[in-house]
Chains A and B, each alone.
Chain A
Amino acid sequence: MLSRVADALYWMARYSERTQTNAHILQGQLLNMLEQSGKEHEYIDHWEAILNICASKEEYLSCFEKIRVNPLIEYLLFSKKNCNALLTTVSAIRENARVTRDSIPTELWELQNAFYLSLKEEIMGRQKPIPIIVLNSFLQNVRKTSLTVTGLIEGSMDRDLPFYFMQVGKWMERAEKTIRMILIVLEQHKHVTIPMSEIDGAFLLELSEATESYLRKHHQANLLCVIQYLLQDKHFPRSFMFCLQKLEEAFIHIEKDSLSERFLVLHSPLKSSIFAMMNMDLWNFTIEDIILLMEERLRQCIEFSQTFATVYYLNEPSIQP
């Protein structure tokens, strides 16, 4: 497989994952906002956390004076100044799909293309601000399309190199995002004096689409238990541990030879990460400790994706926003 194509598939999967997660977060917040008043502290705090998870607060504040809902929605969804805006990531997915059309199922390309065209026609042509009911249905549509895409990939793609490069992109993005969510939420509670086991973890569960799955297994939703779940659960598809296991699986399929140099370069750090994560006992940690730990993990994720790119020569220019 051409390095350029591998790179495009990897990024297509990353942007796909990013789009889906951001759409979920934004949709949830838009609906929550309806029953909260503008003065409530939590409601603005949540927007701030979301801004940091889906984009960057510093970058936003370099364009706008303060966090206000309408400009923020515009920024997160459509602004050209935001390289993670939903419109930008949807367009990057489509462009990457376009240059890899000969490596992906035709229906996958058609789906991404049709979605992009409908987004341009139905949403971009509208007068701003877009009513919440329209935004909600649009975000729902983004999520539905993502689910269809996932199904199409799972159900129709050969278990071959293109498939596994997409898998790496997806799990790498998801692993990084889960850590980022935990980190941002923890930072918001940095100055709170009560212990983590007494802070409500519902917001983090909601951000990470884990509410349903978590509540089926656990009764208490305190922040510490939730973080533990998001880091260590082996069966929840959005947990950090699950993502690492999936990455390991993909590398085994890409390399086939477990003694090759390429495999060892990738596998060693991954294996030690899995091991460290399995043996971590969060109950002995303070908030500051976990924040440091999450920062370290985030840095490792970024380094790891760079190693992956170097090993497979994915450094050719590609279509990224």
Chain B
Amino acid sequence: MMNLYESGLFFDEMLDGKQPKPHYRSFYQKLNAFSKAQLDEKYQQAQSSFLRQGITFTVYGAQGGTERTMPFDFVPIIIPYKQWEMIEAGVKQRVQALNCFLQDIYDKQTIINDGLIPRQLIENNPYYYYQMLGVKVPFDNHIFIAGIDLIRDEHGTYFVLEDNLRNPSGISYVFQNRYVMKEVYPEFFSKHAIQSLDKQMAYMKKALLAHRPRCLPPDAEPRAVLLTAGMYNSAYYDHVFLAQQLNIQLVEGRDLVVQNDKVYKKTIYGLEQIDIIYRRIDDDFLDPIVFREDSLLGVPHIIAAYKAGNIAILNAIGNGVADDKAMYAYVPDMIRYYLKEEPILQNVTTYHLSDDSQRTWVLAHMKELVIKNVSASGGYDMLIGPHASEDEIARFKQKINEKPSQYIAQPTIKLSRAPAFQNSRFYPCHVDLRVYAMKGEDINVLPGGLSRVALKEGSLVVNSSQGGGAKDTWILKEEWQHAKPSSRRTLLDGKI
């Protein structure tokens, strides 16, 4: 048997001590059949496949951005069906509640009036747009795609780390990871029945087209586009992939024009009206007339067309108020308030630093906590207490005292790990999982999602811009969860 490492203090996705967990056994057996040279060769083949296809993201830097591929690691995260059922239900519940919240705070504001969430927290939030108050969105749905980030602690319990309701990226990687995995490591797929991703794009397209703008005649077929910031955007590949798969046109702001509150795209034969925009640029850049006037990415007067009900914009404008790190702490309350249910997925305990007593406690326990800027993402402006120097702690204390409402604190969680194969060896790396939910008339959760892995040894930051990589995520079909080694069936990606 191949000796990977010992799982140790952390919860390991694959190993129990030195032995594989039951749902990883057949994978482990296959793994043992490979020589190191074969694994190295496959590793190179997989990485170059991403590069050849131009599946890159851009790391913004001093020299205008560098293109990189996200490192791919072939050891998948395998999730047994029962466990996935719980995640799926939890994500649906959360997205449902968050959507009710968004609908409420841009309309009747009952949750504020009932005193459940402090009014100040919403009204002072930079992502709360007064311009959107009272604006009707198609079937009251603000969230077309959500990316819910999950982590596991040392006991293997799942926690929600973050909700992404603005422009969650990475779906293309889920599909590409699976594609490369099938191409380069077909051996692993035999004896595993995995939930397929085949139908997901059809669900997504259905959800997209369900967002008919108010003024579109009932018999008219909606015309949708995907609005990208352009090829220098870090997630450009994601945009290209989705536009291709959804069979909608990929447009930039300069391709669109608003006339008489209607939005048109500029084609070779003249202007053509459009009805639905799946936008992948931030609110602030959408309309230079209403938001940032220096924005070159957006379309002047598009908000007027939105308010007039001539165009649907997905995800809806102003979603940022709900996925803010400060609002996160209230999501379990939202679930209880709107759905009258107990949350299925747990939150990580979160301390609000604008609260005097919580701040005093946090400032005294910085070494044990993670401090995050509520507006930052991608691992920026955060302090990981146990790894921080005295200087860094002092600097963060100062930042907190200057702008307490800008920061939250959370206990450090012993993030789960999984084996990764890089530079010809296996070693344990911390992982998290971004689960995608698509909401049209109903909610569909993509089976699996993007497993992100902190490939720098010992690092806790899984973000791709900070050296993180990705893994394929397998959701096992229940009946084949423990496929017997003697089985002669060949199962390829869940199809017999």
Contact = CB atoms under 8 A, between A and B. Distances in A.
Given A2-B249, A109-B54, A101 B244 contact: yes
Interface string B206-233: 0000000000000000000000001100
Given A4-B252, A101-B240, A101-B244, A313 B53 contact: no
B80 to A, nearest CB: 35
Contact of A1 (B231, B252, B254, B267): B267
Contact of A3 (B51, B52, B267): B267
A313 B52 contact: no
Contacts of A106: 53
Nearest to B252: A4
A39 to B, nearest CB: 45
B54 A98 contact: yes
B243 A313 contact: no
A117 B69 CA distance: 13
Contacts of B265: 2
A206 to B, nearest CB: 35
- Counting chain B residues whose Cβ lies within 8 A of the other chain, the interface size class is 20 to 34
B276 interface: no
Contacts of B250: 102
Interface in A99-126: 99, 101-102, 106, 109-110, 113-114, 117
B187 interface: no
A285 interface: no
Nearest to A7: B268
Contacts of A98: 54, 231, 236
A161 to B, nearest CB: 7
Contact of B266 (A101, A316, A317): A316
Given A101-B240, A102-B243, A102-B244, A4 B53 contact: no
A31 B254 CA distance: 47
A12 interface: no
B255 interface: yes
A2 B271 CA distance: 9
Contact of A316 (B54, B231, B254): B254
B53 to A, nearest CB: 6
A50 interface: no
- Counting chain A residues whose Cβ lies within 8 A of the other chain, the interface size class is 20 to 34
A113 B255 contact: no
B52 A102 contact: no
Contacts of A114: 51-52
Contacts of B353: none
A117 B243 CA distance: 25
B278 to A, nearest CB: 14
A1 B249 CA distance: 9
A261 to B, nearest CB: 12
A102 B255 CA distance: 15
Contacts of B267: 1-3, 313
A101 B230 CA distance: 12
A275 interface: no
B251 interface: yes
B54 A4 contact: no
Interface in B78-127: none
Contact of B268 (A3, A101, A102, A110): A3
Contacts of B240: 101-102
Contacts of A6: 268
27 contacts: A2-B249, A2-B265, A3-B266, A4-B252, A4-B255, A4-B266, A95-B231, A98-B54, A98-B236, A99-B231, A101-B54, A101-B240, A101-B244, A102-B243, A102-B250, A109-B54, A110-B52, A110-B53, A113-B54, A117-B51, A161-B268, A165-B268, A312-B268, A313-B266, A313-B267, A313-B270, A317-B254
A74 B243 CA distance: 40
Contacts of B51: 114, 117
Contacts of A113: 52-54
Interface string A278-312: 00000000000000000000000000000000001
Nearest to A260: B269
Contacts of A312: 268-269
A186 B7 CA distance: 78
Contacts of A110: 52-54
Contacts of A313: 266-268, 270
Nearest to B53: A110
Given A114-B51, A313-B267, A316-B255, 11 more contacts: A1-B267, A3-B267, A4-B252, A99-B230, A99-B231, A101-B54, A101-B244, A102-B243, A110-B54, A161-B268, A313-B266
B399 to A, nearest CB: 39
B384 to A, nearest CB: 36
A250 to B, nearest CB: 13
Interface string A171-185: 000000000000000
